[in-house]
């Protein structure tokens, strides 16, 4: 492993004794929506764990919320200390005892109600604290410089509706150092739970109003504007850490890069602005610091690529691998490092494709132990037989990384390739079910109505021109087939599969349908073997209907009870039939004044008019709540 010999001593020389109040490495504010009008306000403060005075570790800090348009103070919030942890190194093996940072989290739930936080210009939160590390080399009077932690957020209501927003969560801070003359990179990019767009830029850290004279008592934050820190001559917001390139950040990814040209401790500021529908709605700022040190020489590893069983090296930018059915689909990778005791690791990164990805069939790491004449490590990478680029050229990066400090060095070979797979026609599924409805034949279930208590069967058949093994299956959507009396049997084989579905629905099956009114079964034909196409599928929705259904219920509306044997009684033989638990409950007949004159619970009732002519009204009910009502005229 590549280590920094005597680095601890070097850091001790770089860090003179610090004043008791100098401890701030950096930090940021954070506001997260919880529910209703409740939010969580947090301050992450990064504390120098080596030189910071423990008495400067505040048990609480005060945050103030202001109206952005007027700078009017809305409320002061006391944030208690809730967490105290260490910031981790990217590579813990590179850690040194003289460089250590604590992350202090101060947090409290607050209420942002619509009546108070409705100003369309939005609001800002500020916390002010002194002082920064005295050893910072790129600003004037660092031991007396303070930090203003700053965050902007929008009104919680917009156009009469709730407007919810949480601060983007910036990537955890770095515990690493940079080596002079070597490219340093770190991802400060964050994520936003609201899906807002994030834009990053470098900003001058804010000093604000706090001073060293305050001592260990945190001040009550003042309103904006907040004075910035003062850069040393020759430095600026675009040149916070000098180098080639100077410290910068990718506006869209939040990736920091610098190849520092000077030694020392440097503070820098990053702003993350969030946009919704093209309009800026908030921002958060993070200050942090970076040590730049002289590091032992670390030579980058090297790798070579060739097709398996081939003596010719792959030439990036000139060669394109052509992967053919039945041919060699593997690469041999040789990688090494001129530095002894380097631990090397291989990895891949797909550039313009997703799946299927190639995989290593051998170990992807090893240690170079011999100095002067370095060991050469070997790995084998194979592409799946089913890789098919459809005539396009895919790009794959092969990457070897060492374990050098402070960050690994890499070597990358970009491999261009095309791939085809052996022809394989999709299997064909046929059945005795009704044809699937168009135009959504592959999505919408076909409806099959089965009569209660009657036996229903259907057959399915799968065929494959390539004679690959086939299998037919049937699966209930949210239910077990056997539990509702359904049966499915299949005979599977090479190039052919046959299945039979059988069902005799009962009232138990009707009860299982519940309010859905049907049971969906997925019949699937699957091909096994290499490079198989997608399964073929039919979805059938089974609905149970009564033994006999009447097209329309139209009872007679006139009876003549005169004893001639013609239309003497009111009968209703066409009432809907009973269907499991949905049964005829009874009928009642009323006079025109609402007096009940007849009632029966028998489906085969008959009513002869009680010998009194006139207009009457009936109401027939069922146990499932259905009602049928109408009128009948009695003519004696």
pLDDT at 274: 96
pLDDT at 6: 35
Using the predicted structure, report yes or no on whether residue 525 has a pLDDT greater than 90.
yes
323 within 8 A of 60, measured Cβ to Cβ: no
Phi-psi domain of 309 (left: phi exceeds 0; alpha: psi -120 through 50; beta: other): left
- Among 99, 104, 156, 101, smallest CA distance to 127 is for 104
Average pLDDT over residues 587-607: 92
pLDDT at 619: 94
pLDDT averaged over every residue in the chain: 87
Per-residue pLDDT tens digits for 219-275: 799 999 999 999 999 999 999 999 999 999 999 999 999 999 999 999 999 999 999
| Chain-centroid distance, C-alpha 374 | 44
pLDDT band at 423 (very low <50, low <70, confident <90, very high): confident
Using the predicted structure, report yes or no on whether residue 622 has a pLDDT greater than 50.
yes
Cα(538)–Cα(405) distance, integer angstroms: 58
pLDDT at 334: 92
Give the H/E segment covering residue 11.
Answer: helix 7-14
Using the predicted structure, report yes or no on whether residue 12 has a pLDDT greater than 60.
no
Residues 6+ apart with CB under 8 A from 174: 87, 89, 90, 186, 288, 290
pLDDT band at 613 (very low <50, low <70, confident <90, very high): confident
pLDDT at 93: 67
Report in angstroms the alpha-carbon separations of 595 from 501, 589, 616: 55, 8, 10
Cis check for the bond before 225: say yes or no (omega within 30 of 0). yes
More confident residue, 363 or 213: 363
Per-residue pLDDT tens digits for 492-510: 999 999 999 999 998 888 8
Q: What are phi and psi of 389, to 5 degrees?
A: -85, 0
pTM of the predicted protein model: 0.64
pLDDT at 145: 93
Highest mean pLDDT among 215-224, 277-286, 566-575: 277-286
More confident residue, 226 or 309: 226
Per-residue pLDDT tens digits for 110-154: 999 999 999 999 999 999 999 998 889 999 999 899 999 999 999
Cα(121)–Cα(107) distance, integer angstroms: 25
């Amino acid at each position: 492993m590549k280590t920094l010999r005597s680095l601890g001593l070097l850091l001790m020389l770089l860090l003179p004794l610090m004043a008791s109040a100098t401890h701030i490495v950096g930090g940021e504010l954070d506001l997260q929506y919880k529910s209703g009008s409740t939010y969580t306000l947090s301050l992450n403060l990064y504390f120098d764990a080596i030189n910071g005075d423990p008495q400067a570790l505040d048990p609480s800090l005060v945050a103030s919320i202001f109206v952005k348009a007027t700078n009017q103070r809305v409320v002061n919030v006391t944030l208690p200390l809730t967490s105290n942890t260490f910031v981790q190194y990217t590579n813990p093996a590179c850690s040194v005892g003289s460089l250590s940072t604590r992350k202090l989290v101060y947090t409290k739930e607050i209420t942002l109600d619509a009546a108070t936080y409705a100003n369309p210009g939005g609001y800002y939160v500020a916390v002010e604290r002194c002082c920064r590390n005295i050893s910072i080399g790129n600003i004037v009077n660092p031991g007396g410089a303070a930090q203003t932690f700053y965050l902007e957020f929008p009104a919680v209501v917009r156009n009469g509706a709730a407007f919810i927003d949480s601060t983007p969560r910036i990537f955890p801070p770095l515990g690493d150092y940079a080596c002079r003359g070597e490219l340093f990179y770190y991802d400060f990019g964050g994520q936003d739970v609201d899906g807002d767009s994030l834009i990053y830029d470098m900003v001058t850290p804010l000093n604000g109003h706090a001073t060293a004279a305050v001592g260990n008592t945190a001040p009550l934050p003042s309103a904006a504007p907040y004075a910035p820190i003062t850069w040393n001559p020759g430095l600026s917001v675009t040149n916070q850490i000098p180098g080639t390139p100077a410290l910068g950040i990718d506006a869209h990814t939040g990736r920091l890069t610098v190849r520092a040209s000077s030694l020392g401790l440097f503070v820098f500021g990053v702003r993350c602005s969030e946009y919704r529908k093209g309009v800026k709605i908030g921002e958060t700022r993070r200050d942090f610091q970076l040590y730049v040190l002289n590091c032992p020489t670390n030579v980058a590893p090297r790798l070579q690529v060739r097709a398996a069983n081939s003596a010719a090296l792959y030439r990036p930018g000139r060669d394109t691998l052509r992967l053919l059915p039945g041919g060699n689909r593997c690469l041999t990778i040789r990688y090494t490092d001129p530095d002894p005791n380097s631990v090397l690791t291989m990895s891949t990164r797909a550039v313009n494709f997703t799946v299927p990805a190639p995989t290593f069939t051998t170990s992807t790491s090893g240690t170079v132990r011999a100095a002067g004449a370095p060991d050469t490590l070997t790995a084998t990478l194979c592409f799946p037989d089913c890789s098919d680029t459809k005539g396009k050229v895919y790009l794959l990066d092969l990457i070897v990384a060492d374990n050098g400090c402070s960050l690994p060095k890499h070597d990358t070979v970009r491999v261009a390739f095309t791939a085809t797979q052996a022809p394989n026609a999709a299997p064909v599924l046929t059945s005795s079910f009704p044809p699937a409805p168009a135009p959504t034949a592959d999505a919408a279930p076909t409806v099959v109505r089965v009569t209660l208590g009657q036996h229903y069967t259907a057959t399915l058949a799968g065929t494959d021109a390539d004679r690959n093994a086939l299998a037919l299956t049937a699966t209930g959507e949210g239910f077990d087939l056997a539990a509702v009396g359904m049966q499915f049997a299949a005979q599977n084989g090479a190039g052919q599969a046959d299945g039979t579905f059988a069902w005799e629905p009962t009232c138990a099956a009707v009860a299982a349908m519940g309010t859905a009114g049907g049971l969906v079964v997925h019949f699937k034909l699957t091909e096994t073997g290499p490079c198989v196409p997608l399964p073929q599928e039919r979805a059938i929705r089974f609905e149970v209907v009564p033994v006999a259904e009447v097209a329309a219920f139209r009872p007679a509306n006139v009876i003549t009870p005169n004893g001639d044997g013609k239309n003497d009684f009111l009968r209703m033989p066409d009432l809907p039939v009973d269907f499991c638990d949905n049964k005829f409950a009874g009928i009642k007949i009323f006079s025109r004044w609402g007096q009940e004159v007849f009632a029966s619970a028998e489906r085969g009732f008959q009513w002869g008019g009680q010998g009194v002519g006139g207009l009457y009204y009936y109401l027939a009910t069922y146990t499932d709540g259905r009602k049928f009502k109408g009128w009948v005229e009695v003519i004696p």
